[in-house]
A and B are shown apart, each in its own frame.
Chain A
């Protein structure tokens, strides 16, 4: 690669990273801001006060906890249902398999507003009051496809001879699954859960249609835009960011040099 091509690549990459990280940096920075007025949007001067009282905004904390609980329930449900589907789709050749795969991929091709609109009309139609239950149902559906396809990809790349070897060594199928398949699948399960959780935790559109009186974190934040943006919002977001980074690092394979990869060297 010539020097010019390399410089252009680097410039583009840096711009891309800047666009990706600008809002995150601003969020972290503003968690140390001492705001004037109700909206922590303009830089005044640095303070640690917000970090000393991270839970001061009680409504925010409540919304955060609600979101954690609901997202946990919905994502575990999605990973369970999706994992079973992925297992069935990769282990057996089934008649109608293509249709199942298509049905599974279809929700990914709809904008969220389509799902939200359809779900609200369903809940109105069957007269199911909107609240935590409808939220968990909606979110588990929303994440199901992501979870199933993530796990399907992992299972497809999985060497079935390992499980057979375990069975040849006398392990009953369930034990082979538990002792061989499951541990090998653990990073995939973690990735699918993390993905589903973050989708549910962060979802605004479907929540705003199906939450009823329940206030999740995104719904609270949308209200805050009009009411008051307390610095605790940025503090909490920074904490969430740190936890996400740690979990992501856990799910990332260790850096290792691929043996035949000498590209660009």
Chain B
């Protein structure tokens, strides 16, 4: 046997460890996702089932964009508004946790996470009793005589909060908030407190300190948070269905309806791919900035 130099040992078993997970991702994710493409170019075989036959029909895309363009736009608008409101609330909370939380920081973070462990649907039920026609929020609004003003601003519709976009936005913001706060806290935690002391020593007022030190350094957390909230918000089913009613349906409701009620699998696939294309654009922007490593996970 020839004496060869010992070959570099590459154990095959890291790939063995990866194999089951990769199999899952390939068979249950990548393959079905790619399968949506031919499906979107097919036609239903009958009106009574999800079976389809491939026809290379591109016109479906034009049809769904024409029919559901307004719903798509409304979804993006609602998602953007919910995220904006979330950001307005998440920033102070993240700053508070980071700079005033002291040794209670982990506990405060836990308090932010806890609501997201409770059921999404139970929260929607709670919102519908909070915002209901006999609920406390409307009672306070009318008690303060703010009804007319809020109606003018489009917050109320016909004196109601349920079945308006306000209700959808509140429900969405509630569920997004933890995903905005946590990445912000993570990136704020990376700020060396001595930087702030230095800024104060140099007579920066709190606003300047925020604008020139805290804000730029919290950008990674901010964009991770935006990614984690915009995408699920744009594809939400529960809040528009149960808090928004028929006038506030969003794109995911339409996809669900096409697939489960109308049995129009090709149209549903086309619309799903359109939605995915839009969200992927957001993701690509994020990837160009700094990759997905910033995604905060507990």
Q: Residues of A with Cβ closer than 8 Å to B?
A: 1-2, 5-6, 8-13, 15-17, 19-24, 26-27, 30, 40-43, 81-82, 84-85, 87-89, 91-92, 94, 100, 102-115, 117-122, 124-125, 137-138, 140-141, 144, 146, 148-150, 153, 191, 194-195, 198, 201-202, 204-205, 208-209, 217-218, 221-222, 224-225, 229, 233-234, 237, 240-241, 244-245, 248-249, 251-257, 260-265
Residues of A within 8 A of B113 (CB): 248
The 27 listed contacts between A and B (C-beta, < 8 Å) are A8-B92, A9-B95, A12-B92, A23-B115, A23-B118, A24-B123, A24-B126, A27-B126, A111-B275, A114-B276, A114-B279, A115-B29, A118-B32, A122-B35, A141-B24, A144-B25, A146-B297, A150-B297, A202-B121, A221-B119, A225-B128, A237-B122, A240-B119, A241-B117, A252-B110, A257-B103, A263-B99
Q: Across the interface, do B126 and A26 meet the contact criterion of CB distance under 8 Å?
A: yes
In the complex, the chain A residue whose C-beta lies closest to that of B177 is: A20
Residue pairs across A and B with CB atoms within 8 Å: the count is 302
Q: Across the interface, do B272 and A92 meet the contact criterion of CB distance under 8 Å?
A: no
Q: Across the interface, do A17 and B119 meet the contact criterion of CB distance under 8 Å?
A: no
Q: Across the interface, do B92 and A41 meet the contact criterion of CB distance under 8 Å?
A: no
Q: From A12, A84, A118, A144, name the one whose CB has the most chain B CB atoms within 10 angstroms.
A: A118
CB contact between A41 and one of B32, B120, B128, B237 (< 8 Å): that residue: B128
Q: Across the interface, do B231 and A109 meet the contact criterion of CB distance under 8 Å?
A: yes
Query: Per DSSP, are chain B's interface residues mostly helix, strand or loop, or mixed?
Result: helix
If A16-B89, A144-B24 are given as contacts, then 5 extra A-B residue pairs at C-beta distance below 8 Å, sorted by A number, are A12-B96, A23-B127, A40-B129, A153-B297, A221-B125
Does chain A have a CB within 8 A of B58?
no
Taking the closest CB of chain A, its distance from the CB of B287, in whole angstroms, is: 9
Q: Assuming the A-B contacts A16-B92, A16-B93, A26-B126, are A264 and B99 also in contact, with contact meaning beta carbons closer than 8 angstroms in the complex?
A: yes
**A149 to B40 Cα, complex, angstroms:** 32
Does chain A have a CB within 8 A of B155?
no
Q: Across the interface, do A244 and B174 meet the contact criterion of CB distance under 8 Å?
A: no
Q: Across the interface, do A108 and B234 meet the contact criterion of CB distance under 8 Å?
A: no
Residues of A within 8 A of B134 (CB): 42
CB contact between A218 and one of B120, B269, B279 (< 8 Å): that residue: B120
Taking the closest CB of chain B, its distance from the CB of A135, in whole angstroms, is: 12
Within 8 A of A (CB), among B27-62: 28-33, 35-36, 39, 50-51
Please provide the 3 A-B residue pairs with the shortest distance between their CB atoms, ordered closest to farther.
A111-B235, A12-B92, A263-B193
Q: Across the interface, do A113 and B272 meet the contact criterion of CB distance under 8 Å?
A: yes
Q: Residues of B with Cβ closer than 8 Å to A?
A: 11, 14-15, 17-18, 20-22, 24-25, 28-33, 35-36, 39, 50-51, 88-93, 95-100, 102-107, 109-130, 132, 134-135, 170, 173-174, 177-178, 181, 191, 193, 196, 205-207, 227, 231-232, 234-238, 242, 251-252, 255-256, 259-260, 265, 268-269, 272, 275-276, 279-280, 283, 292, 295, 297-298
CB contact between A87 and one of B17, B107, B237, B280 (< 8 Å): that residue: B17
**A138 to B25 Cα, complex, angstroms:** 11
Q: Across the interface, do B298 and A191 meet the contact criterion of CB distance under 8 Å?
A: yes
CB contact between B102 and one of A138, A191, A257 (< 8 Å): that residue: A257
